[in-house]
Amino acid sequence: MVTREARRRGVVHAVLERAGSMLLQAAEARRVEPATTVVPVRPVVATVALAPRCGGTTVARALAVELGKRDAARAAAVCGPSGPSSVALPTSSAGRLGRALEAFADDGMRTAGRLCLLDATDPAPLAAASRYTAPLVIDVRHGEPAGRPVALADHVVLVAGLDVEPSLSEAVAASLARIGPEPLIAVTRVIEPGAWAGRGALLLPESRAGARMALAGREPRGGLGSAIAELADLCERC
């Protein structure tokens, strides 16, 4: 026969067990999973000049400036021979990026505007490091081997002048697409499209002032700036 005292102890035990279960459920409800930080992967773009003095470096730097402006790093890197540039004070973001990437340069680096400018015989280590640091544009000059940069790149831009035959550009694009992404074609210094009309290439208007801004690591204004922004959009969508 169960005594009154035994029943009382049973009731107390049941109440305590129920209370413990409720407290455990409340604690689990309040539990927050540790936050995970997702580091964005930055683009690597190769620009390939199809003719001498066709504006390849201008396009490379202008595109890098636009990509850097959009990125959390607020700067971008350009890999290639330094070449000419206007005197421009670097941003603090470019300075930080330069310090992060200087070890990957063959002969030091310099900064201009939003850009960290450096050269590397093998761009692969630089590309790997920049993916978690800032956008990278590899400036392939006319006559330089394009295979390695194209194979490393997420996006490829062929840079042509109005005097370059569209059919030649399209043939080069088809060839490079075998080892990398399908290239975009950008035509520089366009006043009238001529033979390039209806070819699907991005036409970049003539702008000497805009070109000087781009070479100095600054955002070009006007029509050239709008066309470069469109090129950056295409790179992001590809």
| Total length of the chain | 238
- Residues 11-35 have pLDDT tens digits of 444 444 554 454 445 445 455 555 5
Residue 82 dihedral angles phi and psi, to the nearest 5°: -55, -50
Given this model, what pLDDT does residue 89 score? 84
Percent of the chain with pLDDT over 90: 74
pTM over 0.85: no
Banded pLDDT at 84 (limits 50, 70, 90): low
Given this model, what pLDDT does residue 107 score? 80
Given this model, what pLDDT does residue 125 score? 95
Banded pLDDT at 126 (limits 50, 70, 90): very high
Given this model, what pLDDT does residue 236 score? 82
Q: Return the higher-pLDDT residue of 37 and 232.
A: 232
pLDDT over 90 at 160, yes or no: yes
Given this model, what pLDDT does residue 25 score? 53
Residue 181 dihedral angles phi and psi, to the nearest 5°: -65, 155
Give bridge partners of residue 90 from the DSSP assignment. none
Given this model, what pLDDT does residue 4 score? 46
Eight-class DSSP state of 177: T
Sign (positive or negative) of CA dihedral 170, 174, 179, 182: positive
Full set of structural domains in the chain with CATH? 44-237 (3.40.50.300)
How high does pLDDT run on average in the chain?
A: 86
Given this model, what pLDDT does residue 219 score? 95
Q: Return the higher-pLDDT residue of 44 and 121.
A: 44
117 vs 14, 19, 216, 237, CA distance in Å?
Answer: 73, 66, 10, 26
Average pLDDT, integer, range 222-233: 96
pLDDT over 70 at 193, yes or no: yes
pLDDT over 70 at 163, yes or no: yes
